[in-house]
Amino acid sequence: MDIKFNKNEDHNKLLLSDLKKRLVKVKLGGGEKSIEKHKAKGKMTARERINYLLDPKAKSIEIGAFAGEGMYEQYGGCPSGGVVVKMGYVKGKQCIVVANDATVKAGAWFPITGKKNLRAQEIAIENRLPIIYLVDSAGVFLPMQDEIFPDKEHFGRIFRNNAIMSSMGITQIAAVMGSCVAGGAYLPIMSDEAIIVDKTGSIFLAGSYLVKAAIGESIDNETLGGATTHCEISGVTDYKAKDDKDALDKIKNLVDKIGDFDKAGYNRAESKKPKENPDDIYGILPKSRADQYDMKEIIKRLVDNSEFDEYKQDYGKTIITAYARIEGWAVGIVANQRKLVKNKQGEMQFGGVIYNDSADKATRFIANCNQKKIPLVFLQDVTGFMVGSKSEHSGIIKDGAKMVNAVSNSVVPKFTIILGNSYGAGNYAMCGKAYDPRLIAAWPSAELAVMSGNSAAKVLLQIETASLKKKGEKITKEKEDELFNKIKDRYDDQVSPYYAASRIWTDGVIDPLDTRTWISMGIEAANHAPIEKPFNMGVLQV
């Protein structure tokens, strides 16, 4: 090991330590005092409910753990978006579980809560996965109702998705374990089966105070919409549970009896660990995002037996295309090569940049994977497409468009891992969030933006100084440096992987060593949904 490897390792392990600290904080939800109050009502926390429900010792992944981070500070924040979402196994069956966290503003829905719930449903719909709702929510957060209530991707879309999933035959089970009010009352009742916990669960369109104000009727919440009312009088719910654990046990029994699913038929062999030590990733990945490294060394530590077969190895070298296996699943890997390489003319090409030949190669490879029904894995560390007269005259826009076309029209499941840079159109071509990856995750070393903080600050500085000069201000070197650092600091906050994760531009920030699990569970989920249309790139200028 050389000194550079050790410095990289120290840097990346500090980033990992920061990730773990952030996760510890996030998992406290509304804080220890709120948790105490919640448990005093005889209720389990959202995370305890999920942990009890999921099969012990089985793998699981959390979607959107950092949703809402740094947002809504004027209201005290919204850790994890006030809802916990996990993909895991119940009685051996892969499921999505969505649990309101009532320690965060009584489980009220902020705008990011709606976005996260919709993301959970999107994953269930794309992969035909059973979805379980553990409901404990006070409904829409009223001070922000205009940002959560009426639009297409707002609160009401949840119930539309309930109906769509029902028509698709996707199992939905809901357990009302606390409040379930107003519009939110439709979610459990639009599910296939609904459970309600006695004394703590309640469902009504309007609570007792609003009923009194609206029609003058005096009634308590339990009589209005408690478990006895809905199991014995209204027939709204199907099962009464004595407590949280009883409700979760009933869910387990229901899931246990679900029949088998039609499989997409993705190829899987016996899983084998990488021969190369995955821990080396921390030392290979450079401290500086501007430094070069060999992406093939990263791939060796992600794939089974550290073996992969390169497609067009000596052509278009700034993108690596290769067939491999991850936990037994056959995959096609599209990865940005991050070291200087020579093209067929002997010219040096910058690592992390997409050139004409590499875009052409990637397009062909993506088409091949679709032809052979092989899921795609994109490993992003990209600064964008090559610019300048030579590239423009060679038709970089057309070659880039072909690659974007192939990614857009791909019918096999796609998975995206952002290792480092994810800038500009490179994010799009390498299957960014806008291109429907089944799962998209970032390593702590990732940066997502139109361009790097340094480049953006230089551009914005030129605009700012020109504006100030027009106003007659004299710009000294000190003033220019001050402006540059101010702009760069602001921009750097926005390129952070946590900024992206808080807005659900990615599904999470993960330890690089968890990458194999994310991809493997993602393909297993995708195997529930047979491909329904042929691969067709439409009108394409070849």
Within a 13 Å sphere around the CA of 259, how many CA atoms are in the beta-carbon half?
5
pLDDT of residue 459: 74
pLDDT of residue 124: 98
Q: Where are the alpha helices (DSSP H) in 128-217?
A: 156-168, 186-189, 208-215
Distance CA 528, CA 523 (A): 9
Distance CA 421, CA 427 (A): 9
pLDDT of residue 452: 67
> The dihedral of CA 117, 120, 126, 129: what is its sign?
negative
The total of other beta-carbon atoms located within 10 Å of residue 395's CB is: 15
Domain-located, residue 414: yes
385 Rama sector, left if φ>0, alpha if ψ -120 to 50, beta otherwise? beta
Distance CA 214, CA 406 (A): 56
Same domain, 359 and 475: no
pLDDT of residue 540: 62
The total of other beta-carbon atoms located within 10 Å of residue 301's CB is: 20
pLDDT of residue 240: 97
Domain-located, residue 538: no
List pLDDT tens digits, range 211-229: 888 898 888 888 888 999 9
Whether the pLDDT of residue 465 is over 80: the answer is no
Distance CA 333, CA 378 (A): 6
DSSP 73-138: GGGT--GGGGEEEEEEEETTEEEEEEEE-TTTGGG-B-HHHHHHHHHHHHHHHHHT--EEEEEEE-
Q: How confident is the model at residue 1 (pLDDT cuts 50, 70, 90)?
A: low
pLDDT of residue 210: 82
Distance CA 322, CA 151 (A): 42
Whether the pLDDT of residue 188 is over 90: the answer is no
Whether the pLDDT of residue 146 is over 60: the answer is yes
Strands (E), 299-397: 308-310, 319-326, 329-336, 341-342, 348-349, 353-354, 376-382, 384-385
Which of 429, 320, 442 lies closest to 385 in space, CA to CA? 429
Same domain, 85 and 211: yes
CB 311 within 8 A of CB 361: yes
Same domain, 81 and 3: no
CB 361 within 8 A of CB 395: no
The pairing of beta strand 83-90 with beta strand 61-63? antiparallel
Whether the pLDDT of residue 541 is over 70: the answer is no
Same domain, 104 and 241: yes
CB 135 within 8 A of CB 180: yes
Amino acid, single-letter form, for residue 295:
M
- The SS3 assignment for 207 reads coil
Residues in the chain: 542
User: How many domains does the chain contain in total?
Assistant: 3
With residue 440 as reference, give the H or E element that holds it.
Answer: strand 439-442
Domain-located, residue 537: no
* Across 7-11, 107-111, 301-305, least confident range: 107-111
Domain-located, residue 486: yes
For 310, residues 6+ apart whose C-beta sits below 8 A from its C-beta are: 320, 321, 322
Same domain, 246 and 328: no
pLDDT (average), residues 161-177: 96
List pLDDT tens digits, range 308-357: 999 999 999 999 999 999 999 999 999 999 998 888 777 888 888 999 99
Domain-located, residue 138: yes
pLDDT (average), residues 8-23: 97
Q: Is 122 exposed, middle or buried (0-12, 13-18, 19+ CB in 10 A)?
A: middle
Which of 1, 59, 2, 15 lies closest to 512 in space, CA to CA? 15
Host domain of residue 307: 1-30+264-446+506-532
Q: Which residues pair with 193 in a beta bridge?
A: 173
pLDDT (average), residues 374-402: 88
pLDDT of residue 493: 81
DSSP classification of residue 181? E
Whether the pLDDT of residue 58 is over 80: the answer is yes
| Highest averaged pLDDT of the listed ranges 78-82, 105-109, 535-539 | 78-82
* Across 66-70, 322-326, 472-476, 521-525, least confident range: 472-476
Q: How confident is the model at residue 178 (pLDDT cuts 50, 70, 90)?
A: very high
The pairing of beta strand 93-100 with beta strand 83-90? antiparallel
pLDDT of residue 451: 66
Our measurement of the distance from residue 5's CA atom to the centroid of its chain's CA atoms, rounded to an integer in Å, reads 30
Output the domain CATH number for residue 246. Answer: 3.90.226.10
CB 165 within 8 A of CB 208: no
Distance CA 408, CA 490 (A): 32
For 63, residues 6+ apart whose C-beta sits below 8 A from its C-beta are: 85, 86, 87, 96, 116, 119, 120, 123, 439, 507, 508
Domain-located, residue 542: no
Phi, psi of 309 (to 5 degrees): -110, 115
* Across 17-31, 320-334, 379-393, least confident range: 379-393
Amino acid, single-letter form, for residue 375:
P
Phi, psi of 192 (to 5 degrees): -65, -45
Domain-located, residue 382: yes
Same domain, 458 and 519: no
Q: What is the mean pLDDT of the chain?
A: 92
- The SS3 assignment for 179 reads strand
Same domain, 63 and 197: yes
Same domain, 464 and 350: no
Q: Which residues pair with 311 in a beta bridge?
A: none
For 287, residues 6+ apart whose C-beta sits below 8 A from its C-beta are: 7, 8, 11, 12
Whether the pLDDT of residue 456 is over 80: the answer is no
Q: Model pTM?
A: 0.94
Q: How confident is the model at residue 497 (pLDDT cuts 50, 70, 90)?
A: very high
Domain-located, residue 501: no
Amino acid, single-letter form, for residue 462:
Q
Distance CA 113, CA 80 (A): 8
CB 442 within 8 A of CB 403: no
Same domain, 439 and 468: no
pLDDT of residue 462: 79
Same domain, 152 and 123: yes
Same domain, 301 and 202: no
List the end-to-end C-alpha distance of the chain, in Å, as a whole number: 46
Same domain, 342 and 485: no
List pLDDT tens digits, range 259-286: 999 999 999 999 999 999 999 999 999 9
pLDDT of residue 480: 76
